[in-house]
Structure 1
Amino acid sequence: MSLLGGISSSSGLAEGTQSADSKAKLEEDLNRFLSLLIAQLKNQDPLDPMDSNEFTQQLVQFASVEQQIFQNANLEKLLEIQQTNQISSMVDFIDTMVEVDGKKLPLDNGRAEFTYSMPFGAKSATIVITNSSGVNVHKSDAVLDQGKHTFVWDGKDNYGIQQKDGSYNVLVSGLNQYGELLEIPHTVYGRVTGVGANEGNASLFLGNIEVGQDKVLSVKEVPTKKTN
């Protein structure tokens, strides 16, 4: 899939040419069949003519296949129109902040935001952010109070060094009073930089992170970066 000007589409060139290729192959086979048929008719024994039922059935089969190819071509056009409409309807998402399910965390302009829902009975919990190489770039304690919490990362690692914008991974893990692992669901926020469709499914791009439209939980304005 290519991304151009914030709008992407898996144009389905491979799929779109299937009907054309099938039609060309059918025409080639039909021409070959007709050439053989004409040659046989010219050279047939007048006293023992060919049985017309066989080549009539073959002609019917060719007609049936041609009709199916025509229907497939129309279906491909309808799917392409539907996909284009999907992309057009999502353009308004560009330059908004969306909340999505997932662990991929986009760092954009030195800022990343995510939420986590702390269950009851948490004794300890940790936030860990790693880069694309799996290196731990941030580690801190999570809030243990039950409920949903928002965490904003300034993009600095454990040594105060600013990290590059891009895709990171976030994990919030914790233990209860019995030392048992807790399930701590979390969501991430990201600025939509492009929209597209892949195999008929609508997608949003948060930088280089692609997420399905069905993963969007909420939408809000992009926060303005404070200046000193």
Structure 2
Amino acid sequence: MDIIQTAPQSRLTTQQARDPADTLSSDFNTFLRMMTTQMQNQDPLNPLDSSDFAVQLATFSGVEQQVRTNDLLAAQVELMGMSQLAGWVGMEARTTAPVAFSGSPVELAPTPRPEADSAQLVVRDSGGEEVQRLAIPVTADAVTWAGTDAGGTPLGNGVYSFSVESFTDGKLSGTDPVASYARVTEARTEAGELVLILDSGARVAASTVLGLRSPS
């Protein structure tokens, strides 16, 4: 009995162009069903020659091995991607996301607008309420926020956000977020984009990170 022919080449080409791994897996299952059907319907008076059966089994084994190889390659690619993600964890990323405060001073990088003649650092708690307002130089120099009130009493631990208000001739000319460094606790992909989770719990896209450094 002749071996049953597979689907026309044009159809296979279209499937493989769509997704070679899915097409190979589909061909494997189709081949298994065809061989089983052929054995069930063979002529009892003229059964399949043992050599032909061996050829089909060899083909079956080859297809199975190819499917497994593709699966292993896909797993290796995924592991390589995970190793790249792991490289972010533990690093300090410079972003404008809220900062986790636990009593230690926080280094900030406010950028007042060029036309400003005065500027103020505005501090808000996790609920968005303003808890502090400090005058700062109209420069791009780093500012250290001590995390204490006017009397020197430490503010409570928690998540705080910072912005800088620029003033010109006493009038507000603009409000901008303030950048700082925060530790990356997790890195993952979401909808094809690399997303970082900071120690404050904030989620930021890696594409928005302004700088990266090793923990001091």
- Cα deviation, 1:98-140, whole Å, max 9, x if unaligned, reads 4612132231334222111223221443322222222222222
Q: In the TM superposition, what are the counterparts of 1:167-178 in structure 2 within 5 Å?
A: 167-177=159-169
Partner of 2:155: 163
Residues 139 and 158, structure 1, Cα contact 8 Å, conserved in 2:
no
Secondary structure, counterpart of 1:173 in structure 2? strand
Q: Distance in 1 between matches of 2:168 and 2:126?
A: 30
Residues 122 and 132, structure 2, Cα contact 8 Å, conserved in 1:
yes
1:137 has 2:136 as partner: no
1:116 has 2:110 as partner: yes
Q: In the TM superposition, what are the counterparts of 1:69-108 in structure 2 within 5 Å?
A: 70-84=69-83, 87=86, 89=87, 98=92, 100-108=94-102
Q: Distance in 2 between matches of 1:33 and 1:158?
A: 82
- Cα deviation, 1:33-54, whole Å, max 9, x if unaligned, reads 6544544x2589x9xxxxxxxx
TM-score by length of 1: 0.53
Deviation at 1:80, TM superposition (A): 0.7
Partner of 1:197: 187
Over 6 Å off, 4+ runs: 25-30
Identity of aligned residues (%): 13
Change (3 A) 1:66 1:141: farther
Change (3 A) 1:71 1:221: closer
Q: CA RMSD in A?
A: 4.6
Change (3 A) 1:157 1:180: closer
Residues 123 and 177, structure 1, Cα contact 8 Å, conserved in 2:
yes
1:217 has 2:204 as partner: no
Q: Distance in 2 between matches of 1:162 and 1:180?
A: 29
What is the count of residue pairs matched by the alignment? 177
Deviation at 1:205, TM superposition (A): 3.8
**Partner letter of residue 124 of structure 2?**
T
Partner of 2:50: none
Q: Unaligned 5+ residue runs, structure 2? A: 1-20, 47-58
Partner of 1:125: 119
Specify which of 134, 148, 156 is matched with residue 140 of structure 2. Answer: 148
**Partner letter of residue 170 of structure 1?**
F
Change (3 A) 1:154 1:29: farther
Change (3 A) 1:103 1:197: closer
Secondary structure, counterpart of 2:155 in structure 1? coil
Residues 137 and 158, structure 1, Cα contact 8 Å, conserved in 2:
no
Residues 94 and 180, structure 2, Cα contact 8 Å, conserved in 1:
yes
Change (3 A) 1:183 1:134: closer
Change (3 A) 1:32 1:178: farther
